[in-house]
Amino acid sequence: MSTMDLRQALAGLLTLSMFIMLGNMIKKDHFDSMYDVNIEAAPASQNASEVVTEQSLATVSHVSKKSLMENGKGLKPCRNPLALEEAPQSEGFITFSLTNGPEYHISQIADAVVVARILGATLVLPDIRSSKSGYSMSLGDIYDVQKIINRLDGLVRVTRTLPVTNGNPPIVKVPNRVSQDYIVRTVQPIYKAKGIVKIESHFSSVNPTMAGNKKSLDTFACQTMFGTLQLQPEMHEVVDSMVQKLQSWSQNSNGQFIAVDLRTEMVAKECHKKDVSGRKLCYQPHEIGEFLKKIGFSPETTVVYVTQSKWNSDLDALKDIFPKTYTKETVMAEDKKGKSLSSQSSEFEKVIDFYICSQSEVFVPSIPGLFYANVAGMRIVSGKNQILVPAEISSPSASASDYISPYVSQKNHFAYACFC
């Protein structure tokens, strides 16, 4: 072959490689861009046969811990808020409830703190409302109340209980990551008239990136979001023992412990949908298994924890690829199952999943949403950067590091605006 032919062949190969790399980047970024969607409307589920697609996943070399972005040290706040005595104070109260699970809780308490701080109001510690109608819990059933009070000291005034009032307080919906302008324009007039307001965070979209972020409020919101809601001792013990058990199992086989947010009911709702260009919006159990295998995780050594509450036959396809795949009913100590896995305590299950996914060696979301966004934020602040976004793999040279979440690789999660 002539020198010219060799140069042309090499140029063609490099061009092809660039297109493959670009394609993978587009797919990965697209997964994270799906946060600007309405998450309140539940899509109609479709037949499973409509959502199963064939994947072309290339084989790559075995993954090692060095091939992933190394977990680093935890971040620290970039700046400190003004002392509470420097802020204007009033005599009223802001109340709220925690609802829908821990991924919502950390956003809801941040919104409440911001509203109370701007209005100079006293924040009433919330109760926890279950997704089951009429079922509520006290804050201390899940979270450490004294640590919450200590964490909020200097940010807002806090009271454990609401003084006796006439009637129910007016309810005002506020957009998640509410702005000062919205508080002054919409909440303040009602607050001044009534002296008390109950706020409800409205999640019309999930946008954890820095775009549109109100930096003047980041200090209050982010200091509240990350680290305020710490588990009460019994819940902490449950989560800690499960994490230690999973880590031990992975270390015994010289593998890694991966937490995958994979709930079959969510997959059934979402995986039939594609965007306008036909790209996938979520991944099913067998697709997650193939993804992990093709980027180099060993089926023999890797320990996989899935957030599905109890084993479902839909998970069999993942377990066929990764035999060491577990749900919480397998990992949890027998004497803790009665409380944590009972039919009326779905909030306990959600909390367990959220904090295990925040502490695992590697985290893999199967679907876009607030769970992924806020787990990512918790991991970023604590230095746990190994967040892998599933994608269809077409490059023969793909590795785990190619699929690091753009929240980390591009540092576009708003947590980076608050922590350094």
pLDDT at 341: 75
Same domain, 336 and 222: no
pLDDT at 414: 84
pLDDT at 63: 46
pLDDT at 149: 96
Residues of the domain holding 198: 93-226
Q: Which helix (H) or strand (E) holds 24?
A: helix 3-33
In a domain, 40, yes or no: no
Question: What pTM was computed for the model?
Answer: 0.81
Distance in angstroms (rounded) separating the CA atoms of residues 228 and 107:
11
Same domain, 359 and 412: yes
Residue 374 maps to which CATH number? Answer: 3.40.50.11350
Report the Cα–Cα distance between both ends of the chain, in Å, rounded. 55
Last residue of a domain, which of 193, 209, 226? Answer: 226
Last residue of a domain, which of 226, 247, 266? Answer: 226
Same domain, 169 and 273: no
Sign of the dihedral through C-alpha 391, 392, 398, 400: positive
H-assigned helices in 153-284? 180-182, 188-194, 215-225, 233-252, 264-270
pLDDT at 340: 74
Please report, as a single letter, which amino acid is at residue 385.
N
In a domain, 86, yes or no: no
In a domain, 64, yes or no: no
Same domain, 105 and 165: yes
Sign of the dihedral through C-alpha 391, 396, 399, 404: negative
Last residue of a domain, which of 178, 202, 226? Answer: 226
In tens digits, the chain (420 residues) has pLDDT values of 554 454 555 555 544 444 444 454 444 554 655 443 332 323 233 332 222 222 222 223 344 444 454 566 677 777 666 566 566 778 899 999 999 999 999 999 999 999 999 999 999 999 998 766 667 889 999 999 999 999 999 889 999 988 777 778 999 999 998 989 999 999 999 999 999 999 999 987 655 555 444 444 567 888 888 889 999 999 999 999 999 999 999 999 899 999 999 987 776 666 766 666 667 778 999 999 999 999 999 999 999 999 998 888 889 999 999 999 999 989 998 888 877 776 566 888 999 999 999 999 999 999 888 999 999 999 999 999 999 999 887 776 678 888 999 999 999 888 888 877
pLDDT digits (tens, 9 = 90+) for 174-195: 999 898 999 999 999 999 999 9
Same domain, 307 and 357: yes
Contact 138, 127 (CB under 8 A): yes
Same domain, 257 and 389: yes
Distance, CA of 33 to chain centre: 15
pLDDT at 223: 82
